[in-house]
Chains A and B, each alone.
Chain A
Amino acid sequence: MDVKKILLVDDDIDLLEQNKVLLESRGYKVITAENGAKGWEAFQKENPNVAIIDLIMEEMDSGFILCHRIKKSNPNVPVFIITSAPYTTGFKFSASTNEEKEWLKCDEILNKPVVIDELIAKLKNM
C-alpha cells in the first residue's frame, strides 16, 4: 500500500507538531487533530491512508473510541495506537496477533514518544 496521507491525533500539541514535521520531512502528507471528536471529523473529510492515534486524550478511552469508529467505517485503513499507558498504568497490551488486532481495532501499538524510524518502518510495511 502506498501510504501518503496520514491522520495524526494527539492532545499533546508539542508531540503532534513534532510528529507532523518529522513525517512531512519523510514525504508524507499529514493532517492533525487535537482530540477524538476533531480526529473523527478530519477522518471523514480527508480520507487518510493511515490513522495514528494517541490512546488517552481528554477522556481515558477517547483513542479507543476513535479507533473503533474508523475501523467500523473503513476496516481497510490501518490504525496505529501510540500510548504511554504501560508506564502509567502498568497495563500492557499488544496488537501482535490477529485476535488482539481485531479486539483492539488497531494494527500496531507504539510506545510514546514515537521513534520516527520505527514508525516509518511500520508505515512502509503496510
Chain B
Amino acid sequence: MDEKSKILIVDDENGLRLGTERLLEEEGYYVESAPNGNEGIRLGKSKEFDVAIIDLKMPDVDGLTVLKEIKSVHPNTVCFIATAFASYETAIESTRLGAFGYIPKPFSPEEIIYQIEQGINQRKLILESERLKKEREENLLELANEKSRLNAIIKSINDGILVINKNAELVYYNYAALKFLDLAEIELGSKILNILPEKVVKTVNKLFYSETFHLKSYSQQIELKPNNQLIVEFSTTPIPNSDGSLAGVVLIISNITEYKKIELLKSQFVSMVAHELKAPLAAVQGYLNIMIDKSIQLSPEKQEDYLKRSLTRLKGLTDLVNDLLDISRIELNTKQREIEQIDIREIIENSFQFFELDIKKKNISIETHLDENIPAINADYNEITRVVTNLLSNAIKYNNTNGKIEIELYKSHNYLILKISDTGIGLKPEEKTKLFNEFYRAKNEMTHGISGTGLGLSIVKIIVDSYHGKIEVESEFGKGTTFIINLPINIK
C-alpha cells in the first residue's frame, strides 16, 4: 500500500493500548488511540481508519456501541473486538454489528500483527469490491445513456425502420416508418404484415417459411402514392438468432422519389439525344439511297444538291456532337478551366469578326455600347467566348434581313451586365419558359428553315450558372429578343 494503513486502538487499559500502539507503529502503520469509548467514537467517526481494534469492556461506553457508531459513518472500516471475557453471545453480537473478528486478550505481538494483516487484506477486498460495484453502476448508467442515444438516433433517421419478429409481430419501429405507411400510430406487438405492400409481405413470408436463409437484403421499389408522388425502396433483411435460426426481419424504407425522377429525366435525355442524332443520319442515308438507286434518274444538278444537303446535315450532326461533348465536359467538370484575366470587350469584338459573313449576308447593322471602364474578370476565355458567340449567333440567325443587333456592356454594383438585343422574330410567352431546355428550339411559322442543335442556350446557361451568374430573356413575338447576362465581377 502506498500510504500507511491507518489503525485505531480503543482501550481503557493504558499499558496494553500504548504497547500495541508502539508495536504497530514499528511495523509501519499509522496509529491513533483512544483511552475510552467516547473518545474512540469521536476519533473513529472523524476519519476513516482501515482497521480498528476495540476493547469490549470499557467504563463509559461498551465496545459494541463504539463498533456500531463507527460503522454507521464508515461501514468499510474493518473492526476487531478485543476482550478477555470472550463469550459466545458477544461474539455473535459483535459479528452481527459488523465486526470482522474477535481478538482474545491478552494477545501476543505476533497474534495482533497477524490479525491486523488479516484486517488490512479484508479492507483491501472491501475497497476493491466497492470500486468494482461503483464501476459497474457507472457502466450501467452509460449503457442506459447509450441505449437512449441510439434510440434517439434511430428515431430521427429519415429512412423508415420496422423490425418484425418471427410471429409477424412488430417489435420496433421509428417515426419515419409511420410516415411512409401513412399511419398516425402503431402498437408494438401488433400484426403488421396486412398493412405492408403485397410484394414486401411475399418477401417476408418467403424468409419466414423457408428452412434456410441468406444474410442479404432483398430490395423492392414500390410506388406508395400514385403518379410518382412517392416511390420508396423496401429493403428486407433477415435477423439471425445466435444459433443461426431466423429471429425476424428488419425492413428499411427509403424515399427514392427524387432519384427515380432523375433517372426518368436521364432516360428521356438519352432518347432525345438518340432521336436528334438519328434525324440527320436518316436524311443523309435517304439521299445516298436515292443516289445509288438505279431506277431513279437524277440530273447532275439534283445530285449535287443532294450531296450539299447531306453535307449540311452532317455538319449539323457534328455541331450537335460537339455541343453534347461541351455540355458533358462542363457538367462533369472534366474540362480543366483556365482561369485568367479576360477582357469581355475583346471577346465581343472578336466574335463580330467570326460572324462577319453572316452579318453581311443578312445586312444586319450592329450597334455597341461597351463601357470603357469595365474591369477585367477572372474566367475561362473559351467559356466566356462560347457564351458571347452562342448569343450572337442566335441574334443573327433569328434576325430579319436588314435587322439590327445591339450590344451593351456595363458594370452594375458587383456585376458585369451584357445585353444582346436583336430585332428578329421574337418569342411567344410559352416559348420563353422552355428556351433553356436541352434540345428545345422554338418551332413556329417563322423559325422554319433555321438550323441549330437546340443546345446553344443550354450551354450558355450552364456556363453562366457555373460562374454564379444569371441569364434573363426579354422578348416580344415578332419584334425581337434581348438576352441579359449578369456575371459577378469577382468570379472564380
Q: How far is the CB of A28 from chain B (nearest CB, A)?
A: 13
The answer to whether A12 and B279 have CB atoms under 8 Å apart is: yes
CB within 8 Å of A: which of B286-338? Answer: 286-287, 289-290, 293, 295-296, 298, 309, 313
The answer to whether A112 and B282 have CB atoms under 8 Å apart is: yes
B295 / chain A contacts, CB cutoff of 8 Å? 25
The answer to whether A14 and B275 have CB atoms under 8 Å apart is: no
The answer to whether B275 and A15 have CB atoms under 8 Å apart is: no
Query: Which chain A residue lies CB-closest to B276?
Result: A88
A25 / chain B contacts, CB cutoff of 8 Å? 293, 295-296
With A21-B296, A25-B296, A84-B275 as known contacts, state yes or no: A14 contacts B309, CB within 8 Å. Answer: yes
In Å, the complex CA distance between A12 and B451 comes to 11
With A35-B448, A84-B275 as known contacts, state yes or no: A14 contacts B287, CB within 8 Å. Answer: yes
With A21-B296, A35-B448, A84-B275 as known contacts, state yes or no: A58 contacts B443, CB within 8 Å. Answer: yes
Query: Which chain A residue lies CB-closest to B447?
Result: A58
Q: How large is the interface on A (under 10, 10 to 19, 20 to 34, 35 or more residues)?
A: 20 to 34
In Å, the complex CA distance between A15 and B279 comes to 9
Give the secondary structure class of B's interface.
Answer: helix
Q: How large is the interface on B (under 10, 10 to 19, 20 to 34, 35 or more residues)?
A: 20 to 34
Query: Which chain B residue lies CB-closest to A89?
Result: B271
With A11-B448, A35-B448, A58-B443 as known contacts, state yes or no: A18 contacts B271, CB within 8 Å. Answer: no
The answer to whether B287 and A58 have CB atoms under 8 Å apart is: no
* Proximity string of chain A (6-25) to chain B, C-beta cutoff 8 Å, 1 when within and 0 when not: 00000111110110011001
* Proximity string of chain B (110-122) to chain A, C-beta cutoff 8 Å, 1 when within and 0 when not: 0000000000000
The answer to whether B290 and A88 have CB atoms under 8 Å apart is: no
Query: Which chain B residue lies CB-closest to A18?
Result: B286
* Proximity string of chain A (65-102) to chain B, C-beta cutoff 8 Å, 1 when within and 0 when not: 00000000000000000001001101000000000000
In Å, the complex CA distance between A90 and B270 comes to 12
B274 within 8 A of A: yes
B283 within 8 A of A: yes
In Å, the complex CA distance between A88 and B287 comes to 23
CB within 8 Å of B: which of A87-126? Answer: 87-88, 90, 112-113
The answer to whether B296 and A15 have CB atoms under 8 Å apart is: no
With A25-B293, A113-B282 as known contacts, state yes or no: A18 contacts B287, CB within 8 Å. Answer: yes
Q: How far is the CB of A118 from chain B (nearest CB, A)?
A: 14
A84 / chain B contacts, CB cutoff of 8 Å? 275, 278-279
The answer to whether B286 and A37 have CB atoms under 8 Å apart is: no
Q: How far is the CB of A115 from chain B (nearest CB, A)?
A: 10
List, sorted by A's number, 21 A–B pairs whose CB atoms are closer than 8 Å.
A11-B448, A15-B286, A17-B309, A18-B287, A22-B290, A22-B296, A25-B293, A25-B296, A35-B448, A37-B445, A58-B443, A58-B444, A58-B445, A58-B448, A59-B444, A84-B275, A87-B271, A87-B274, A88-B272, A113-B282, A113-B285
Residues of B within 8 A of A (CB): 271-272, 274-275, 278-279, 282-283, 285-287, 289-290, 293, 295-296, 298, 309, 313, 443-445, 447-449
Given A58-B444, A88-B275, 17 more contacts at CB 8 Å? A14-B313, A17-B309, A18-B283, A18-B287, A18-B289, A18-B290, A21-B290, A35-B445, A35-B448, A57-B443, A59-B443, A59-B444, A84-B279, A87-B275, A87-B278, A88-B272, A113-B285
